[in-house]
């Protein structure tokens, strides 16, 4: 019966999220799930049919809407990532994404604070994470200094950045309060704008709640040539790993030059519901897991 209670909570939270964005003047949009090309990412595998693939994130279509002049948009949609299954992963999951024109990642951090505060009354008594308190913030460089056995630069260099993040850092993050990790190494910020005062990092941040990665946002890169180079670089890594090579999203690249300086963020709804209901696994907050189908 706990699962039914969780699903009621889930519906309540999703409704509250819609309310939050509506009152902030955001337009809810629906973009197609079936795409001729996703953004090539080193370690995200799309599920493909014929010459199409299911979206791994709605970001390309949402950014194309920014290019067309929409300035505040949000979407709650399903995303698919092949072979991602664990206690906190589903190969089909629900993502909230929102984008703001004429904004940067600091504006999104503010949105996160306001959204969590708005959702605080919908948190179940079983949940141990207070959405209402002050956020902790730390740069990725400093968080490596504090919690990891290597510096951020060394970890990027020898390819252990992700491993140290998952094994050493995430478990050490304070669990009771929201935590913002920001300024990721440029190599780990494929669609983000580099920081003007320190181009070795990108204007990307992640929101952690209870040591769990909840959202990833950045100041959007809007230089089409640089974006093309980064896609090609990602495909090179994919080829080295023996992963499928993704076609480039040409229409997106053609339009990107007309995008205002913008910021966008993706937030995992299932994980947010996990935390709001005090659930230990993602299985407890969805109607059916893949194994139950």
Query: Residues interacting with another protein, by CB under 8 A?
Result: 41-44, 83-89, 161-163, 165-167, 170, 188, 190, 206, 213, 216, 241-242, 266
Question: Least CB distance from residue 256 to another protein, whole Å?
Answer: 19
Closest CA to 105 of 230, 192, 40: 192
Question: Least CB distance from residue 36 to another protein, whole Å?
Answer: 22
| Unique residue bearing structure tokens 């995430």 | 170
CB contact at 8 A, 263 and 220: yes
Please say which residue, 41 or 270, places its beta carbon nearer to another protein. 41
Question: Least CB distance from residue 282 to another protein, whole Å?
Answer: 11
Please say which residue, 34 or 166, places its beta carbon nearer to another protein. 166
Instruction: Name the β-bridge partners of 219.
Output: 263
Question: Least CB distance from residue 154 to another protein, whole Å?
Answer: 16
Tokens standing for residue 17: 């999220």
Please say which residue, 57 or 277, places its beta carbon nearer to another protein. 57
Q: How far is CA 202 from CA 78, 90, 93, 291, in A?
A: 27, 28, 26, 38
- b/e burial code for range 92-101 (CB count within 10 A of at least 16 → b): bbbbbbbbbb
Please say which residue, 42 or 107, places its beta carbon nearer to another protein. 42
Please say which residue, 124 or 289, places its beta carbon nearer to another protein. 289
Where does residue 156 rank: exposed (0-12), middle (13-18), buried (19+ CB within 10 A)? buried
Please say which residue, 84 or 92, places its beta carbon nearer to another protein. 84
Please say which residue, 69 or 159, places its beta carbon nearer to another protein. 159
Question: Least CB distance from residue 4 to another protein, whole Å?
Answer: 26
CA angle, 84 as apex, 125 and 110 as ends, to 5°?
Answer: 50
Question: Least CB distance from residue 87 to another protein, whole Å?
Answer: 5
Instruction: Please state, in angstroms and rounded to a whole number, the distance separating the CA atoms of residues 288 and 291.
Output: 8
Question: Least CB distance from residue 134 to another protein, whole Å?
Answer: 24
Please say which residue, 72 or 85, places its beta carbon nearer to another protein. 85
Question: Least CB distance from residue 130 to another protein, whole Å?
Answer: 23
Q: Which runs of E-coded beta strand occur in 102-241?
A: 136-139, 179-185, 194-195, 198-209, 212-219
Instruction: Please state, in angstroms and rounded to a whole number, the distance separating the CA atoms of residues 106 and 231.
Output: 25
3-class secondary structure, 83: coil
């Amino acid at each position: 019966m706990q699962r039914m209670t969780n699903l009621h909570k889930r519906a309540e939270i999703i409704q509250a999220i819609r309310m939050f964005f509506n009152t902030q003047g955001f337009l809810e949009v629906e973009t197609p799930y079936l795409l001729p090309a996703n953004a090539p990412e080193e370690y995200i595998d799309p599920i493909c049919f014929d010459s199409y693939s299911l979206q791994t994130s709605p970001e390309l279509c949402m950014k194309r809407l920014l290019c067309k002049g929409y300035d505040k948009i949000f979407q709650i949609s399903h995303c698919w990532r092949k072979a991602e299954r664990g206690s906190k992963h589903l190969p089909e999951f629900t993502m909230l994404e929102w984008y703001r024109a004429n904004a940067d990642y600091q504006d999104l951090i503010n949105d996160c604070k306001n959204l969590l505060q708005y959702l605080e009354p919908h948190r179940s008594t079983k949940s141990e994470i207070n959405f209402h308190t002050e956020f902790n913030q730390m740069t990725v460089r400093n968080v490596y200094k504090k919690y990891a056995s290597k510096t951020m630069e060394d970890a990027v260099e020898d390819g252990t950045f992700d491993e140290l993040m998952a094994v050493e850092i995430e478990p050490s993050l304070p669990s009771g309060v929201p935590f913002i990790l920001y300024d990721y190494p440029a190599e780990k910020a494929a669609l983000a704008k580099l920081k003007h005062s320190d181009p070795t990092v990108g204007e990307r941040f992640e929101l952690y709640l209870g040591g769990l990665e909840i959202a990833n946002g950045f100041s959007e890169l809007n230089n089409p040539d640089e974006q093309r180079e980064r896609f090609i670089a990602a495909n090179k890594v994919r080829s080295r790993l023996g992963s499928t090579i993704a076609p480039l999203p040409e229409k997106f690249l053609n339009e990107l030059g007309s995008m205002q300086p913008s910021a966008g963020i993706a937030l995992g709804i299932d994980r947010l519901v996990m935390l709001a209901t005090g659930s230990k696994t993602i299985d407890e907050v969805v109607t059916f897991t893949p194994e139950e189908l």
